[in-house]
Structure formats: structure tokens, C-alpha cells
Amino acid sequence: MTYENALKKLVSCGQEHLLAFYDELSDDSKAALLEQIDGTDFSIVDAFSCEEANAARGEISPLSALTVEEISEKEEEFRKAGLQAIQDGKVCAVLMAGGMGTRLGTAGPKGAYDIGITKPVYIFQRLVENLLDVARESGTWIRLFVMTSEFNDEPTRWFFEEHSYFGYRPDKVVFFKQDMAPTVGFDGKVLLERKDRISTSPNGNGGWFSSMIRAGLGSILEEEGIEWLNVFNVDNVLQRICNPEFVGATILSGCEAGAKVIRKAGPDEKVGVICKEDGRTAVVEYTEMTDEMRNAVDDSGEYLYNFGVISNYLFSFKGLMRGLDQQLPIHIARKKIACIDAEGKEVKAEEPNGCKFELFIFDLLRALEGCLPYEVVRECEFAPIKNKTGVDSLETARELCKKNGIEL
Ligand code: UTP
């Protein structure tokens, strides 16, 4: 992109200050900045000025789940259908590992975190071992896509290589980088990280599918006849991945998606809850729930909003392709962002000084035709590592691994 074209693009969205230091830069830095401007979609920034409208929700109503008891009654049927789909090569796994892992605060990729006690056991290893269980059961090497970000792509690839893909077949693993979004100050102006670089952050886990398609991986899905994508978080070390019962139940339900859910520990547990919004399946976040919703019960005293999502979904490829045309809601997070000021001086923020834009995975549900909420046993499938200590931490995850007979 030429300087003139970059200026034109920026003027059209009121961000021309991003070229303020252009004349001071070396030729290489000038080229890098122009390339970044060319590749950046500044339209996401508009979300800042219509935040309230964006956050508005439709009419929320309760949604129940296929319960553990109901699943166990039909387990064989579900298992058979799921195994068939896996053996036919119709199912793949997508690991979302593009997050920053700020709360855990590790130096490298979160998946490289060692949760072992007597021996090294890495988070990535735990997830691959869970997928290997199904590969063995089905006699099929399920394709595994790993989403990274600009911040952790190289170390993630290196880590898999260094550990021989934890026993998985290397040619079945494909890495791709997720898209980045510019960050803005509270005045709506995009921030500069350096004089030659726009400040960006990963565009949230809802960007996984569009990033995958932009990375050219749609052709693998099409060529291999993949119809279902099991997408999951990096941090839950107990979750089953592509397990045939879940795959089969979703396919047989006729829905375009399945969402693993857990029964909430109590009305105040801080998890997003599966629900209906204007008649379509959606997730309502803990912070969006009123006291009335939290405590609402049915005739038999069961909580109506009782099933929390664990961010493990099965999506139909066809449904996702159709949904690509729809803009997902943009969520705005106020954060401390390292940047430079108008004079080019470094700003070390003590308080939030700007916003990051994120898409959320559960917003994809609204574009799909139906979703099966599929209950899993919390103690067996939900051991997220979000924090250093306390709730959802290394300590709690280790305890749960022990209960499930996993040696650490
Ligand atoms: P979290 O919301 O827990 O965020 O991500 P995080 O970045 O891992 O951790 P914090 O909030 O900074 O402490 C849930 C899942 O979504 C992925 C994460 O890697 C994790 O698997 N994710 C999140 C992405 O892949 N990309 C993103 O932009 C954000």
C-alpha cells in the first residue's frame, strides 16, 4: 500500500493520526506500518460509538438441556452415530489457543503450562491425550486445528514440535493465526504501540471461524468432507473432545450445533447460561442476568436458567458458512493498554486507558439452526485453569484430575 492510499483509508475513518510519526521512520518501518494499515479492518472501531445499541438483547427465555440421565438411556445409539461420523472423517477438532491468558500470567502460551506434580504434564498434552482416546476408540486420526495469535504462534508451534505432538500425528495438526483487532483510547482514536506499529489484540474467540476461513483452511474442510467442528478452550484439562456420544447426540438431534453444559452449582455461579433469545439459542452472561432470572424456578422448584456453558461446542460447517455473512456483536473490554502518546512517549497505564474489541464464540449460536444443550458431569469434564489460585485454578484442576484418576 502506498502512503497516499494509507492516508486516504485512515482519513475515511478518522484515524489519520496513525501516520503522525511516518516521516521519522526508516524505510523498513514505513513499509511495515503501511502493510499493517492495509491489513487492518478499522470498521470494528465503530462499535465504540454504538456500544449501548450493540449490547441490547432480545427477549430472553429459559432453555433446558438433554440431561445426563437422558443421555445415558440413549448412550449406545448416540455412540454408534458419533463413531460412524468420526470414522467417515466428518468430524474435526479446533483448539482455541489464541487468548492472552492474562489471569494465569504465564510467560508463554497457556497450553505450555506445566500442571504436573511428579512429572511434567502440559495443558496441551492433556488435551491431546483426551483426543487420542477417541482416535484409539474410533481407529481414526481426527484432524486437529490449533488457533494461535500473533503473540503466541511461534512458541506454540515450537512447543508441539519439541514434544513430538504429544503422540499425535503431526500431519494431522494444522496451526492458524487468529485475526487481530486494533485497540482504541477512550476518545475513539486507535492507539499506536510504537511509532511504526498499531496496537492490536486478538479479536476474541468468536473470531475463530472467520480467521480459519481467512487462513485458507476452508479448502481442507471441503476436500476432506468435514461436516462438524468440535471447538474447545485451551484451559479445560478434563473436557472430552470429539467424544462419539456428544457428536452422535448432536447429529441425531437435527440441530446445527451442540453445546456442552453443566448444571450450575447454584444460582449465583458466575457462568454464562444457555437460553433462548427471541426464540433462538443463545448464551446470557452472568453479568447480564437479573436477580429475578437467577432465582426463577419451575413448578418443581428447579432453576430455570440452570445450565452453564463450558465453551465446548460442535458446529455444523454448513451452518457456520452461512453465518459468516452475519456480523457478530462486538464486545468492548476496558483494559490497561501499553501504547505511546501524541508526543511519541511511552504510556505505562496504571488504570484502564483504552478498549479492546472482542467477538465471543457463543454469539455464533444465534446464526445456526438449533443447538442441543448437552449436559456433562461437572466433576468429570470441567476443570478450567483461569487463575493462579482459588476458583478455576491450577489447584482446583489438579484436584479434579486426581479424582478422575489422571496421574500428574
Ligand atoms: P478466556 O476468555 O479465558 O481468555 O479464553 P484468556 O485469554 O485465555 O485468558 P485471560 O482472560 O486473558 O486471563 C477462553 C478461550 O478462548 C481462547 C483462549 O485461548 C481460551 O481457550 N481465546 C480467547 C482465543 O483463542 N482468542 C481470543 O482472542 C480470546
Read off the pLDDT of residues 305-335 as tens digits, 9 standing for 90 and up: 999 999 999 999 999 999 998 889 999 999 9
Q: What is the mean pLDDT of residues 16-25?
A: 97
53 falls in which pLDDT band (50, 70, 90)?
confident
How far is the C-alpha of 147 from the C-alpha of 153, rounded, in Å? 8
Residue 102 predicted with pLDDT over 90: no
107 falls in which pLDDT band (50, 70, 90)?
confident
How far is the C-alpha of 215 from the C-alpha of 147, rounded, in Å? 10
Measured CA distances, 296 to 310, 378, 400 (Å):
22, 22, 30
Q: What is the mean pLDDT of residues 217-242?
A: 98
Q: Pick the closest to residue 198 from 36, 346, 353 (CA basis).
A: 36
The arrangement of strands across the sheet holding 339-340 comes to 197-198, 192-194, 339-340, 346-347
**Residue 57: predicted pLDDT:** 87
Pocket test for ligand 1, best of 44, 94, 100 (most atoms within 8 A of CB): 100
Tell me, in angstroms, the distance from the centre of ligand 1 to residue 360's CA. Answer: 10
397 falls in which pLDDT band (50, 70, 90)?
very high
Q: Which residues line ligand 1 (CB under 6 A)?
A: 96-103, 110, 147, 178, 202-205, 233-235, 386
Q: 326: how many CB neighbours lie within 10 A of its CB?
A: 10
Give the position, in ligand 1's atom list, of the atom nearest the Cα of 96. 25
**Residue 100: predicted pLDDT:** 87
Measured CA distances, 250 to 190, 206, 316 (Å):
42, 21, 10
Is residue 235 within 8 Å of 121, Cβ to Cβ?
no
Nearest CA to ligand 1 atom 4: 99
Tell me, in angstroms, the distance from the centre of ligand 1 to residue 75's CA. Answer: 32
How far is the C-alpha of 392 from the C-alpha of 88, rounded, in Å? 36
The DSSP bridge partners found for residue 66 are 374
How far is the C-alpha of 226 from the C-alpha of 144, rounded, in Å? 12
Question: Coil, helix or strand for 81?
Answer: helix
What angle (nearest 5°) sits at the alpha carbon of residue 385, between those of residues 401 and 62? 95
Q: What is the mean pLDDT of residues 292-301?
A: 93
Sequence-separated (6 or more) residues with CB below 8 Å from residue 222? none
Sequence-separated (6 or more) residues with CB below 8 Å from residue 157? 148, 175
Q: What percentage of residues in the chain have a pLDDT greater than 90?
A: 91
Cell of 309: 456453558
How far is the C-alpha of 88 from the C-alpha of 224, rounded, in Å? 10
Mean pLDDT of the residues in the chain: 95
**Residue 218: predicted pLDDT:** 97
Q: Pick the closest to residue 383 from 395, 368, 371 (CA basis).
A: 395
Cβ neighbourhood burial of 371 (10 Å; 0-12, 13-18, 19+): buried
Tell me, in angstroms, the distance from the centre of ligand 1 to residue 99's CA. Answer: 4
Question: Coil, helix or strand for 51?
Answer: helix
Nearest CA to ligand 1 atom 14: 233
4 falls in which pLDDT band (50, 70, 90)?
very high
Which residue is listed with cell 479445560?
Answer: 236
Number of residues in the chain: 408
How far is the C-alpha of 408 from the C-alpha of 393, rounded, in Å? 15
Nearest CA to ligand 1 atom 15: 233
How far is the C-alpha of 286 from the C-alpha of 278, rounded, in Å? 19
Read off the pLDDT of residues 348-389 as tens digits, 9 standing for 90 and up: 899 999 999 999 999 999 899 999 999 999 999 999 999 989
User: 339 φ, ψ to 5°?
Assistant: -160, -175
Residue 35 predicted with pLDDT over 90: yes
**Residue 55: predicted pLDDT:** 77
Strand spans (E) along 303-370: 307-316, 331-335, 339-340, 346-347, 354-358
**Residue 52: predicted pLDDT:** 77
**Residue 316: predicted pLDDT:** 98
| Alpha-carbon dihedral 18, 30, 352, 204, rounded to 10 degrees | 100
Read off the pLDDT of residues 233-263 as tens digits, 9 standing for 90 and up: 999 999 999 999 999 999 999 999 999 999 9
Crossing angle (nearest 10°) for helices 75-87 and 123-138? 90
Give the position, in ligand 1's atom list, of the atom nearest the Cα of 95. 21
Cell of 314: 460442535
